[in-house]
Structure 1
Amino acid sequence: MIAMAENSTIEWTHHTWSPWIGCQKVSPACDGCYAEHLMDTRMGRVEWGPHGERSRTSAAYWRQPLAWNRAAAAAGRVERVFPSLCDPFDNRVEPTWRRDFFDLIRATPNLMWLLLSKRVQNAVDMCEAAGGLPENAAIGGTAEDQENANRVVRHLKHARAYLDPAFIFLSMEPLLEGVCLLQADAIRWHPGGTYDDGGQPGYDEPSPDRHECVDWVITGGETDQGKHKARPSHPDWFRQIRDACAAAGVPYLHKQNGEWVDADSLPSEALEDYDIRGLTADGVARVGKKHSGRLLDGVEHNGFPEVSHG
């Protein structure tokens, strides 16, 4: 039995729901996969790995989003849904499953479906094969480092050009190195300013053409998942992305710091309250998810994109 996520604890969605369960690791961001850990410790529904299984969820479970849609319509709002235990553009999934999934999305117009994928390069072909992307679906890609950010943004913009999603977004969790959003072509500015993003030439006026930018950026640090221990994310990496988004007028959400924080930010009088289990050469301390929280320089960032459809 799958637990229904009526109110998700993930800061950027209202609900989590998956048309099927199962995936396999394709990038360094997958090393600490929470869904794999969930299968190992609680659900045991499928096996992850090089030949990971895929299991379609039940007919009763598929009726849950219809109830959410009715409630959202009655309240006059749009609620976000994230398929959290699968990849919507997984090429090892039976194509009829995706067509059925898209039919469900179309049947729930008061839900905004956040199709986050590590395989964004498949989006155009798979959406066309499934009868087209529903207008209440957004397409996102995961990018943990500069190389993947460069690649993912290119595919996101290709998907926007051909599929016209509600918006495109970039999830940079876990963030494993500093990333320049200008270099990745995720943001652009007009010439004339001196703003600097990671050593790249900068601009201080947002571009009037929002299609030059991604529509939303999410960042987050890694957390422990079973035997996999979280790798550190330096707060300066988050700050660099936060500042670039602010300068370009792109909504920014910082989900969490992970297990690590800037040691200089810890109050010396309360150090005994922190379980400091490690310290990196650049001054990042391992204090655990509870103590690290999601504040960045004392501020909670909860930016969301404007929805262009609906």
Structure 2
Amino acid sequence: MSDGTAIEWTDATWNPVTGCTKITRGCDNCYAARFAERWRGVPGHPFENGFDLTLRPERVGQPLRWKRPRMIFVNSMSDLFHKKVPRHFIDSVFDTMEAAHWHTFQVLTKRSSPMRNYLRARYGEERGPSHIWCGVSVEDTSGVPRITHLRDSPAGVRFLSVEPLIGAVGEMDLTGIDWVIAGGESGPGARPIHLEWVREVRDQCLAQNVAFFFKQWGGLRPKSGGRELDGQEWNQFPETRLEAL
């Protein structure tokens, strides 16, 4: 767990699973894979096995020992709903999140249908705990169907990460969605982001009364292009977050 992060929309990260496999164009320049693979083969390093999927049961209880409330990005270095993560292990992660109710947890996936199926099995027809936020990535029009899977998920809070935004997303039905994050790609080989793509996302959020957060323009470094969109920073959070402040 990292108490502190450069990610603008969260306070800390927690990685009970690390490693993943690429499944969409949005994964092509994955920062987590790039970081982990630097350490492959280094004896004793946490990423000795690079970005191979690795369960880390010793980390599952970490948030319970962290007493000051935080917003925690779950598995910033993996995807909890990867097909090789056993159901019982996902259960243990959710058990911890439910018990550590003083924190806010942000679970993000590209594997939207497995997440939907899991949440339905765990919570049935009722919305899950309001301090457990579940989201899906949408990098361009190809990711838009994940929004339907998310809408059909009984998550306490539902959010989209439109990042890295590598193409226009087109029309989105944001019914039942509480929050949208957008941002450009960063790092070596970062693909360009276009102003009209970002405006399209923001304007749909404004029209449908959904909180909008613009993280970055991206570039070689995350801060290269700043965060202003049309002369201002967009730092909106869902109402549940505002109530907790």
Question: Shorter-chain TM-score: which interval?
Answer: 0.7 to 0.9
User: Alpha carbons of 1:129 and 1:213: their partners in 2 closer, same or farther (altered >3 Å)?
Assistant: closer
- Which structure 2 residues correspond to residues 75-90 of structure 1 after superposition, within 5 A? 79-83=70-74, 84-90=76-82
Amino acid at match of 2:160: L
Answering whether residue 53 of structure 2 is matched by residue 46 of structure 1, we say no
How much does 1:249 deviate?
Answer: 1.4
Amino acid at match of 1:81: I
Residue 140 of structure 2 aligns with which residue? 145
| C-alpha contact 1:21 1:46 (8 A) present in aligned 2 | no
**1-side partners of 2:65 and 2:50: how far apart?**
30
SS in 2 for 1:71: coil
Residue 3 of structure 2 aligns with which residue? 6
How much does 1:257 deviate?
Answer: 0.2
Residue 43 of structure 2 aligns with which residue? none
**1-side partners of 2:142 and 2:86: how far apart?**
30
How much does 1:130 deviate?
Answer: 5.9
How much does 1:58 deviate?
Answer: 4.9
Q: How many residues align?
A: 233
Answering whether residue 206 of structure 2 is matched by residue 246 of structure 1, we say yes
| C-alpha contact 1:251 1:304 (8 A) present in aligned 2 | yes
Identity of aligned residues (%): 33
Amino acid at match of 2:115: A
Q: Scaled by the length of structure 2, what TM-score is found? A: 0.86
User: What residue ranges of structure 2 are gaps of 5+ in the alignment?
Assistant: 40-45
Residue 191 of structure 2 aligns with which residue? 231
Amino acid at match of 2:47: G
How much does 1:128 deviate?
Answer: 5.1
Residue 229 of structure 2 aligns with which residue? 296
| C-alpha contact 2:172 2:204 (8 A) present in aligned 1 | no
SS in 1 for 2:68: helix
Residue 221 of structure 1 aligns with which residue? 184
User: Alpha carbons of 1:290 and 1:127: their partners in 2 closer, same or farther (altered >3 Å)?
Assistant: closer
Deviations 1:188-215 (CA, angstroms, capped at 9, x unpaired): xxxxxxxxxxxxxxxxxxxxxxxx2411
Deviations 1:64-96 (CA, angstroms, capped at 9, x unpaired): 31132x222xxxxxx321120111211111222
Deviations 1:240-275 (CA, angstroms, capped at 9, x unpaired): 21122122211000011011xxxxxxxxxxxxxxxx
**2-side partners of 1:288 and 1:104: how far apart?**
34
C-alpha RMSD of matched pairs (Å): 2.3
Greater C-alpha radius of gyration? 1
SS in 2 for 1:101: helix
**1-side partners of 2:33 and 2:72: how far apart?**
20
Residue 65 of structure 1 aligns with which residue? 63
Residue 179 of structure 1 aligns with which residue? 169
